[in-house]
Chains A and B, each alone.
Chain A
């Protein structure tokens, strides 16, 4: 059974560009949550997808959007990148039963 994977591991973009981050959930998990972790801070909840629909959202602007696919993998898209978007982006999947979330290794985004 493979765990949660994310790609790419590292990414450098410039201000104003757009970025897509990808997450493959653990087998059997139908819920994916995305988090942003700025340097030295705890992660902040961006949004959650359940069965291909957005199921909850944190305090992030609309330029943060996402998708979940029929195989439950997910994408996080960020448009019009800003310097403050530089962070570690974590996705976590969870099974239908419950509350435990399994985290991926993260994608480290640097916006110059």
Chain B
């Protein structure tokens, strides 16, 4: 079992729909990242969360530390939101372990 699990793996929706992508993790973390990766590879950091909720434009990220679960929501989705969304955990307890990544959710928004 991966330490960071995402669901769904693939998601196709119509423009305007409300999108939710889920991430569960099994390790202690100091922070959780949500990242966006477009075709061609470049990764953009969307959010870094250690508690609560963050909002940026149409994107909202929440985290429940007790349940070890985070969600990324996209409101009023648009075709330009089509990308792979990846959650990545930064382990707690010090040490330089880098980020542990989920496998990503491939999102397609159809016009």
Contacts and interface: CB of A to CB of B under 8 A. Distances in A.
Check if A and B associate. yes
Contacts of A108: 41
B48 A99 contact: yes
Nearest to B86: A42
Interface residues of B, number: 25
A81 interface: no
B45 A88 contact: no
Nearest to A34: B98
The main secondary structure of chain A at its interface with chain B is: strand
Contact of A55 (B86, B88, B96, B103): B96
Contacts of A48: 96, 98
Q: Which of B4, B35, B41, B95 has the most CB of A within 10 A?
A: B41
Contacts of A35: 98-99, 101
Interface residues of A, number: 28
A99 B91 CA distance: 10
Contacts of B40: 105
A33 B97 CA distance: 9
A43 B86 CA distance: 9
A85 to B, nearest CB: 16
B99 A103 contact: no
Given A42-B86, A42-B102, A102-B45, A56 B30 contact: no
B44 interface: yes
8 contacts: A42-B88, A56-B95, A56-B96, A56-B97, A58-B98, A90-B43, A99-B30, A103-B42
Interface of B: 4, 30-31, 33, 35, 40-45, 48, 86, 88, 90, 95-104
Given A40-B103, A42-B86, 19 more contacts: A33-B99, A37-B41, A42-B103, A42-B104, A43-B88, A43-B99, A44-B101, A48-B96, A56-B95, A56-B98, A58-B97, A92-B99, A100-B48, A102-B45, A103-B42, A103-B43, A103-B45, A105-B41, A105-B42
Interface of A: 33, 35, 37, 40-48, 50, 55-56, 58, 88, 90, 92, 99-106, 108
